[in-house]
Chain A
Amino acid sequence: MSEERKLRILIAKPGLDGHDRGARVIARAFRDAGFEVVYTGCHQTPEQIVHTALQEDVDIIGLSILSGAHTYSFPRVMELLKENKAEDITVIGGGIFPLEDIPKLKAVGIKEIFEPGAKLEEIINWVRTSVKPRQALQA
């Protein structure tokens, strides 16, 4: 009985930002949407985030940040994914971002950004349509 392949998501909070309410809300929403959510808590370095993503074989990384430190951590995560040949992992972000930063983040490969007030339904729908669970290994 091959089980249905579940989407695996890592929700991570980079940097010293302690605002974890949004990340928890999102993690719960993803669980309720039927995804398997790895949650690692606050204060993660980009290195820790990428190592975790690789070990957990996630399809998508969701970065949550409200402190404004995204200009370093987001591009660094993308860089490390590339170094590890893991660009197939989709990265999205959520939290508070100055308007002018959003195109810059998308330019480094962040697929989508969700800001305060983003509807959970909308976020889940985006994930469902944009990300598919990775294919099985070929024996």
Chain B
Amino acid sequence: MSIIDQIIAGDVRATARLLRDIDDQVPSIYPLLKELYPHTGKAYVIGLTGSPGVGKSTLVDQLATRFRQEGLTVGILAVDPTSPFSGGAILGDRIRMQRHFLDPGVFIRSLATRGHFGGLTRSTNDMINVMDAMGKDIILVETVGVGQDEVEVANSAHTTLLVTIPGMGDEVQAIKAGIMEIGSIFVVNKADREGSRKTVRELRNLIELGLRRKEDTTWEPLIVQTEALKGVGIEDLYQAIMKHRAYLFDNENGQLDSILMKRARSQLIEILRDEALKAILGRMEAQGMSLEDLSRRIRNKESDPYTIVHEVLERELK
């Protein structure tokens, strides 16, 4: 059986190894990704983002359980940060997902950011495609949750969950600062803690403010309170996701098309940027132009980075 056939048949080892190669950007992945692509497009992708420790992994665990009850298979991609000092990483999201380790209907992959900004990894979109091609019905993507602008996941997911917790005044401020727009659903997790209702009220106000600024006002983001640790509110969250899904698939609104276009466009730009850079660097090297020498010229103020880049592009893109 070819690797492609093995992956489509759901073979764990073959899939896991391809995911590794994608992460490492091994050139041999491209023919495989091309062959897998026609088999994608069936999975429903749900992104979860929010600050460190708000309970994203615990929610992923609960949602996986809920989707399994529907008989759906689940792929999970969970991102943790790479240490900028060593390049290594501790990937600990799995700790919260232990009960799914033996379920053949759940495939979990832990990923390290490897210097990529935006909350995901350079490889996440390709990995979503592979999990999709291997037949996972639902793909849950947990972002690294470091800052305030991990909006990237919204370009990959059908439904984006913005997770927050009560009593973090700053938290709501952070949402205001930028990622408000990407949330299809707002989750106030750890609702067992004091101030949950207040946080819901604050969010509701922000959503109303935000709606006035948004072009697309046909979807009003939902707010759901959960206690992920105990499984409270998970049914509400599940129903909210289903509601958003129904909205996307509703022909009159046609929002599915705009989501898929957004995803195609962001993936296109991402690959184009990488491949163009790779090609140009390769040709520069072939001509004996080293980055080292060019950097030296900039460092010594013999030239400037703007001039050099434009010179290189003029020569290479002719």
- Contact surface of A with B, Cβ cutoff 8 Å: 1-6, 8, 27-28, 30-41, 43-45, 47-48, 51-52, 54-57, 84-86, 134, 136-139
State the CA gap A52–B110 with chains docked (Å). Answer: 10
Instruction: Assess whether B88 is interfacial by the CB under 8 Å rule.
Output: yes
A47 CB to closest chain B CB, in angstroms?
A: 6
- Top 4 closest pairs, chain A to chain B, by CB: A31-B88, A41-B95, A57-B16, A48-B101
> In the complex, what residues of B have CB within 8 A of residue A37's CB?
88-91
State the CA gap A5–B278 with chains docked (Å). Answer: 18
Instruction: Assess whether B85 is interfacial by the CB under 8 Å rule.
Output: yes
Number of B residues, CB within 8 Å of A:
43
A41 nearest in chain B by CB position: B95
A132 CB to closest chain B CB, in angstroms?
A: 14
The reply to whether B25 and A3 contact each other, CB–CB distance below 8 Å, is yes
> In the complex, what residues of B have CB within 8 A of residue A45's CB?
102
State the CA gap A120–B32 with chains docked (Å). Answer: 40
B14 nearest in chain A by CB position: A137
Residue pairs across A and B with Cβ atoms less than 8 A apart, 13 shown, are A8-B20, A32-B86, A48-B101, A51-B102, A54-B12, A55-B16, A55-B107, A57-B19, A136-B20, A137-B3, A138-B28, A139-B28, A139-B29
- Apart from the given pairs A32-B88, A41-B92, 17 other A-B contacts in the complex at a CB distance below 8 Å: A1-B277, A2-B26, A2-B27, A5-B24, A27-B90, A28-B90, A34-B87, A35-B88, A36-B88, A38-B110, A47-B101, A54-B13, A55-B16, A134-B17, A136-B20, A137-B14, A139-B32
B92 nearest in chain A by CB position: A39
The reply to whether B91 and A39 contact each other, CB–CB distance below 8 Å, is yes
> In the complex, what residues of A have CB within 8 A of residue B88's CB?
6, 30-37
Instruction: Assess whether B18 is interfacial by the CB under 8 Å rule.
Output: yes
State the CA gap A39–B95 with chains docked (Å). Answer: 7
The reply to whether A56 and B12 contact each other, CB–CB distance below 8 Å, is no
B226 CB to closest chain A CB, in angstroms?
A: 22
Instruction: Assess whether B262 is interfacial by the CB under 8 Å rule.
Output: no
- Contact surface of B with A, Cβ cutoff 8 Å: 3, 12-14, 16-21, 23-29, 31-32, 83, 85-92, 94-95, 98, 101-102, 107-110, 112, 114, 274, 277-278, 281
B112 CB to closest chain A CB, in angstroms?
A: 5
Given known A-B contacts A39-B94, A54-B16, A1 and B278 have beta carbons under 8 A apart: yes
The reply to whether A137 and B17 contact each other, CB–CB distance below 8 Å, is yes
Cross-interface CB contact of A56 among B24, B31, B83, B109, cutoff 8 Å: B109
B273 CB to closest chain A CB, in angstroms?
A: 12
> In the complex, what residues of A have CB within 8 A of residue B19's CB?
57
> In the complex, what residues of B have CB within 8 A of residue A134's CB?
17, 20
> In the complex, what residues of A have CB within 8 A of residue B102's CB?
45, 47-48, 51
A49 CB to closest chain B CB, in angstroms?
A: 8
State the CA gap A120–B45 with chains docked (Å). Answer: 41
B282 CB to closest chain A CB, in angstroms?
A: 10
Cross-interface CB contact of B94 among A40, A47, A136, cutoff 8 Å: A40
A32 nearest in chain B by CB position: B86
Given known A-B contacts A1-B274, A55-B108, A136 and B91 have beta carbons under 8 A apart: no
> In the complex, what residues of B have CB within 8 A of residue A54's CB?
12-13, 16
> In the complex, what residues of B have CB within 8 A of residue A27's CB?
90
B12 nearest in chain A by CB position: A54
A37 nearest in chain B by CB position: B90
> In the complex, what residues of B have CB within 8 A of residue A30's CB?
88
A93 CB to closest chain B CB, in angstroms?
A: 20
Given known A-B contacts A1-B25, A51-B102, A32 and B89 have beta carbons under 8 A apart: no
A86 nearest in chain B by CB position: B13
B129 CB to closest chain A CB, in angstroms?
A: 16
The reply to whether B90 and A48 contact each other, CB–CB distance below 8 Å, is no
State the CA gap A29–B299 with chains docked (Å). Answer: 36
The reply to whether A40 and B26 contact each other, CB–CB distance below 8 Å, is no
The reply to whether A48 and B17 contact each other, CB–CB distance below 8 Å, is no
State the CA gap A139–B18 with chains docked (Å). Answer: 10
Cross-interface CB contact of B109 among A3, A5, A55, cutoff 8 Å: A55
The reply to whether A137 and B86 contact each other, CB–CB distance below 8 Å, is no
B237 CB to closest chain A CB, in angstroms?
A: 24
